[in-house]
Each structure stands twice: as C-alpha cells, then as structure tokens.
Amino acid sequence: MNSVWPDAPNDDFRSLFKTHPSPMWVYDPQTLKFLIVNDAARDLYGYGDSDFAVMTVLDIRPSVERERMLDAVHHRTDIETAQRWTHLKADGETFEVLTYGREIRFDGKMAILAIVQDRTEVNAARRQVDATQSLLDSIVDNLPVGVFVKDMERDGRYILFNEACGGIVGRAAQDMIGKSDRAIFSDEQTALFREQDKLAFETAETVYFEETIHTVDGVLRILKTAKRALPAPSGQAPRYVLGISQDVTAERSVEARLAHLAMHDSLTGLPNRAFFSESIVRQVAAARPEKPIALLYIDVDHFKHINDSKGHAAGDMLLRQVAERLQQLAERSDLVARLGGDEFALVLRMTDAGRARRFADLLLQSLSAPFDLDGVREHVTCSIGIAMAPEHGNDADVLMRDADLALYAAKASGRSTYRFYQTEMRLEAERRHQLTLELREALQNDELELHYQPIIRLDEDALSGFEALIRWRHPKRGLIAPAEFIPVAEETGMIVPIGDWVLREACRAAVEWPEHLKVAINLSVYQFRHASLLATVVSALSETGLCPGRLEIEVTESILLSEVEQSLSLLRALKELGIRIAIDDFGTGYSSLSYLRSFSFDKIKLDRSFVAGMDADPGNLAIVRAVVGIASGFNAVTLAEGIETEAQLAKLRAEGYHEVQGFLLGRPMSRENALARILHEAYPARTLRARKPAHV
C-alpha cells in the first residue's frame, strides 16, 4: 500500500512532520539520498541540514550494515514492517534502532518514509515502569521459563501457571489453574513437591532444586526450580509460593555430550588422557595388596611408518582397530584409554597374580594378526610397559612413571615385547637424565674431543686418512666412550649441535694434513633428518677451507629405512659438492641391494663383526668375499674395520680389500699424535706385514 505525500503540503503538515518527536525522514530509493529530514532525526544523529543534503541513507550505517541496507531497499523487506538496525551518529557512536518503512509519493515521485525508534530510550523507559507491574508483565508475557504461584491455603492450588510452565509439563496453562499437584503428578512426585514447598516456607529464602520429572505424556525432563514464599502484607503469615522452573533437559544433555567429548578420544571413542588421569588417581589410592591393579602403557611399534607410507587416514583406521582389539581383551571392570598418538593405557584389576602377564601375552598375540586397511593387509606389533600398584607405588604419578620406564625398556629390548617395572629402570633413567645435563655442559665447556684412527691403503701399505671418533673427557669420570653418551644425545636432540661441532673440528684438523689424506666422520640418522645438514656441511668446508674431496661422510643403512627419496636427494646433493659417501657397518642392517642401485656409494665398510668371525664361521667369510664382489660391481672402495690380528690382515689383503683399519694398525689417537704419525711414520710393505698392534 502506497501513501501519498502532498505535492504541496500545507504549513500545518510540514510543521507536524518537522516537529514530530519520532525521528523520521524521506529518502529516494533509487539514489538513497535524503529528501527531507525532521528535527528529531537531526538531533538524534547530530548532522545538520547541509550534511543531510549530501548524504545517503548508507552514511548513517556502519560498513557492515550497508550491504544489508541495499538488499532491503532492493527487495523492500523493511516496508510495512519493523526492522532492527545498527546506526551511526555523526560523532561515530553506534546505537540500536527499530525502523519502520512505508512507500509514499513525494514531490510526484516514489519515495520511502522511514520512522526510527531509538531503542536506547525504549530500554530506559522500560526500566522506569512500575516495578510490580513490570514484574507481573514479565512473568506472564516475557519469561521463557516456567512461572507458577501456588495458594498454600487452598491445598497448593495453582493461581498462576504460565505458558512456558505448561509446555514443560505437557498441559495447557489454563487447564492448570485451580488444580493442585496431586491432580497432575504421581503421588511420589507430589510428595516431593510438597516437601520443597514446606522448605521454602520454613527458610523464608529462595531454595533451589533440580529433579527429573515425568510429564503428563510420560517424557522424562530435568527441571531446575527456584521456590520462595511470597511475603504477606501487614505481617501476616505467607500464603503463596512463587516458583520459577527451567527445563534444562537439553542443556544437561549437551553438557553430558561435552563432558563425554572432553573425557573421550574422538577417533576411537576410548577414554582420553584427561579421563585416565582422573581415574588412575582414584584406582591407585584404592589399590591394596589383596586387591592390586596393573597399569599397562602400550605403544604401537613403528606407527609413524604406517602414517608416512599409507597416509593419516590409514593410520587412523589402524588405531581404531587396535582400540577394538584392546577392548575385546579387556573386562568390563578394566579401563582402556588412548593417551594420544599411538599411545594406549590399560588399568587391569588383578583377579590373580598372573593376569597382567597373561594379558600382555594375549595382546601381543592379538596384534600379530594382520590389520585390514581398506583392503591392504598390514602387520604391526606393540611394546608394553607394566607397573603394579601398590607393589611399585601407591602414588599415581609414581606408577605412571614406572610404567613409562618399563615401556622404554621394552622398546630398548627390540620392541614387540613387554617389560615389568624394575628398580634398575628408574636408576638407569636417573643416570640418563644426569648424563643429559652433564652432556649439555660438556658441549659448552669444551669437554668433547676427537680422536683419529688411521685408515691404511693396502695397495701401497700407506696412510689413506683418519676416521674422526668423538670422545668425552669428563672432569670426574675421565674418558667416556661414545656408546655411552651418543644414544642420549640422539634421544634429546643434542646430536645435532654435537654433530656440527664434530664436522667443523674434523675439517679443521684435516686442513693441517697433506692434501692426499682424507678425514671420515660418522653421521647419525638423526642428524641426517635435520633440515640444516647440507648448509652445515657447506659452512664447515667454507670456514675451514678443506677441499670437499677430502671429506668422507659415513652413513648407516638405517637412513634408508624411511623417507628414501628425501635421503637419496640429500646424499646426491652432498656428493655433488665433491664429498665422498661411505656406507658404514655394511651387512648388519637393512642390507638391500636396491639402495646400492639408487645411489653410487664411494666406499663400502664391512662391519667388524664379520672380520672377527671370519676364521670360525664360513658364513662370515662368504659375506667378506661377497662385499668385494658387490663393491667391484658398483666401482666402490672396500674397507674392513676391526683388524686386530696379522692373520685377519693377511686374509683381507688376499680377498682384495682396498683399505683397512683396526687396533693392529693404530688405535684412535689425539689430534697431535695423528699429526705426528703423518709426519714421522712411513709405511713400507715389509713394515706393515710385520707390524705389531699399535698402542699410540
């Protein structure tokens, strides 16, 4: 319906528009420009006539409202209906308004009359309404919660029962007026309500209850109710009980779901670490010698390989199936939890002394069966650490630490097994921790040093170079072998800065040697995975001035167990610099000829174990000979390490090995002694063949 604005409104009409207390204006829906604005609008928004003359209705709206305004004008959604908006005053203040639009004709053209209600004033006005009337109106008309009043002098009959309350109990509100609880609810529920009413009268304060009721339709609902006796005038005894009830069924359901999510793993549905942490405290506190519990920590062995090779979806599928097998083995009284990643925990109630061991055996057996990952059969194993309460501890933190130490021992034992906690595990952990602290200080205090073991070239019986071997000169314990502290360095990540130091120190030493001598260093697989390795090698060569061809990097076969392409790419980049690459401890690890085809190693080092068993075991001798053939096919130098007897030396010479090293030819020595050997020793064939074990 269109209204018609007089083309020539008389003075009375203009005066009425101009002075009307409600802010209003007329605007052009095409240009959105203001056509006429009354005084109330100018006062409310703070703009003058000259401002409004050049403004559009978009200018009184913040930027986030303008697109909506354009849509409203285009579709006329704010015509003949009230709309809530945020408007903008001249001073930048935003405020809430309610607008009502109507299409009119103004100066012979279609226009829109907008009438504005400032909600600020409305809200202020509402607060000034008579308190009693406002309360009654709010109770009856506005509150979304159930409100009722009982007349306790008339058997608790309802004299007020609003619609929300009727919706809660499943009855029309008007049907409840004049009725008491016993006409609606069961005797048990009625008795409960009467007790609440009595309590409200006796305390003369608001009392709160939360209970589950059956509605008229038999539906269970959870109500949160507040009751209070209404004060009577002139000091009379209270007669009425006011109650406010809120249906919190959905809220409690959501809370229950959220609580479940907070305490359960979303992938497997098992209790999570938070649930486990709370439960283990209670269970350890309750454990007794006659009613012990067992805590099992479980790790899926090499789970990262599944994730890396098959993808995270396959990894998730595997974890769900592992969880299912754990639940199948556990009893209802046991707790099965996923702590995160591939870590699980079980708390077993020890019905007999051997249950934990039997369960671990059954679990290893269960997990040995293949897993179906979208049609692909995968095999995994697990490592298990077991601690008992109260035998190993009556404190949850202590028990969890003990189970973790046992798990660590199981992994160190080759995985796919279980270990029970023993005191020696804690002592070893403390030793490793202390060693870690001291190792950090050792790097800072220059306690690390390199020893150099000679490498002999058999064709000329001459020195070919040295292998740099790290030692730790502890201020109290003396010289510590790498086998003791390198594993700690690898666990803690300290192997990276230590490896950097070894690389630079070895290059600095080799620069002092004749140019035909090389220096060999060992790279840990952990260093090899570090993104900065290539840059570190380049930096070390640049700083020391060592020719890349004189640096030999030894790696073990384990670097090719995973991320093969990344490993080969780094090896190729190192070799492109001119650095020689040797495969160390050959025959003890992966030993697949496929990687020899993928990368051209410069040297193959036969592990010392084959040299030591060469005379007694024909199989070892066969491997010794096979390495020579393999290296010849790939045009690689062969080196045998661990030479301790003249017989071993003669045998390896006869088999065609290019280089050798071992105590017979020279023990690891200091930098100064290595330089002295270079300068003062000669290696004629007769000397080498008759050489006694060196003790430099």
pLDDT, residue 692, reads: 43
The CA distance from 224 to 248, in Å, is: 6
Residue 21: cis peptide before it, omega within 30 degrees of 0: no
To the question of pTM greater than 0.85 for the whole model, the response is no
pLDDT, residue 142, reads: 64
- Band of residue 689 on the pLDDT scale cut at 50, 70, 90: very low
The CA distance from 315 to 318, in Å, is: 5
- How confident is the model over 606-616, as a mean pLDDT? 86
Residue type, 137: D
- Band of residue 137 on the pLDDT scale cut at 50, 70, 90: low
% of the chain with per-residue pLDDT over 70: 91
Mean pLDDT is lowest, of 20-34, 169-183, 342-356, for: 169-183
Q: In degrees rounded to 5, what are phi and psi of residue 540?
A: -65, -45
pLDDT, residue 346, reads: 95
* Helix or strand holding residue 647 (H, E): helix 646-655
What is the secondary structure of 392-411 as a DSSP string?
S-SSHHHHHHHHHHHHHHHH
pLDDT, residue 138, reads: 60
Bridge partners for 208 per DSSP = 226
Q: Provide CB contacts within 8 A for 349, sequence distance 6+.
A: 291, 293, 331, 333, 334
Which tens digit of pLDDT belongs to each residue from 427-468? 878 888 888 888 888 888 888 999 999 999 999 889 999 999
pLDDT, residue 593, reads: 63
In the predicted structure, residue 77 carries a pLDDT above the cut 50 = yes
Mean pLDDT is lowest, of 132-146, 371-385, 605-619, for: 132-146
What are the distances in angstroms from CA 477 to CA 426, 433, 438, 473?
21, 16, 11, 8
pLDDT, residue 615, reads: 79
Using the 8-state DSSP alphabet, how is residue 214 labeled?
E
Q: How far is CA 415 from the centre of its chain?
A: 25
Residue 465: name the closest of 506, 496, 425, 433 by CA.
Answer: 506
pLDDT, residue 690, reads: 41
Residue 99: name the closest of 73, 129, 67 by CA.
Answer: 73
Three-class secondary structure of residue 475 per DSSP: coil
- Band of residue 681 on the pLDDT scale cut at 50, 70, 90: low
Three-class secondary structure of residue 293 per DSSP: strand
In the predicted structure, residue 300 carries a pLDDT above the cut 70 = yes
The CA distance from 323 to 338, in Å, is: 8
The CA distance from 664 to 669, in Å, is: 13
pLDDT, residue 308, reads: 77
The CA distance from 503 to 495, in Å, is: 12
Long-range contact set of residues 535-538: C-beta below 8 Å, sequence gap at least 24: 536/500, 536/503, 537/503, 537/574, 537/577, 537/579, 538/577
Pairing verdict, β 24-27 and 3-4:
unpaired
- How confident is the model over 249-276, as a mean pLDDT? 89
pLDDT, residue 141, reads: 59
In the predicted structure, residue 33 carries a pLDDT above the cut 60 = yes
Give the burial class of 454: count Cβ atoms within 10 A of its Cβ; 0-12 exposed, 13-18 middle, 19 or more buried. Answer: buried
**Mean pLDDT score across all residues of the chain:** 86
- Band of residue 262 on the pLDDT scale cut at 50, 70, 90: confident
What are the distances in angstroms from CA 472 to CA 195, 446, 485, 562?
80, 9, 8, 31
In the predicted structure, residue 594 carries a pLDDT above the cut 70 = no
The residue whose two tokens read 């699980």 is 344
- Identify which has the larger pLDDT, 487 or 321: 321
Which tens digit of pLDDT belongs to each residue from 337-351? 999 999 999 999 988
pLDDT, residue 50, reads: 93
For the chain, how are helix, strand and coil distributed in percent, rounded to 5? 45, 25, 30
**Are 562 and 541 in contact, with CB atoms under 8 Å apart?**
no
In the predicted structure, residue 528 carries a pLDDT above the cut 60 = yes
Could you write out the three-class secondary structure of 225-245? EEEEECCCHHHCCCCEEEEEE
% of the chain with per-residue pLDDT over 90: 47
Pairing verdict, β 24-27 and 109-118:
antiparallel
- Band of residue 125 on the pLDDT scale cut at 50, 70, 90: low
- Band of residue 492 on the pLDDT scale cut at 50, 70, 90: confident
Bridge partners for 602 per DSSP = none
pLDDT, residue 43, reads: 94
CB count, 10 Å around CB of 692?
7
Residue 502: name the closest of 451, 463, 453, 547 by CA.
Answer: 451
Three-class secondary structure of residue 474 per DSSP: strand
Which tens digit of pLDDT belongs to each residue from 612-669? 888 788 888 888 898 998 888 889 999 999 999 999 999 999 999 999 999 999 999 9
Residue 18: name the closest of 36, 39, 35 by CA.
Answer: 39
- Identify which has the larger pLDDT, 113 or 681: 113
- Band of residue 693 on the pLDDT scale cut at 50, 70, 90: very low
Write out the two tokens for 261.
Answer: 């999510």
- Identify which has the larger pLDDT, 668 or 491: 668
pLDDT, residue 595, reads: 67
In the predicted structure, residue 696 carries a pLDDT above the cut 50 = no
The CA distance from 35 to 274, in Å, is: 65
- The total number of residues shown for the chain amounts to 696
- How confident is the model over 266-292, as a mean pLDDT? 92
What is the secondary structure of 354-392 as a DSSP string?
THHHHHHHHHHHHHHSPEEETTEEE---EEEEEEEETTS
Mean pLDDT is lowest, of 3-7, 252-256, 298-302, 392-396, for: 3-7
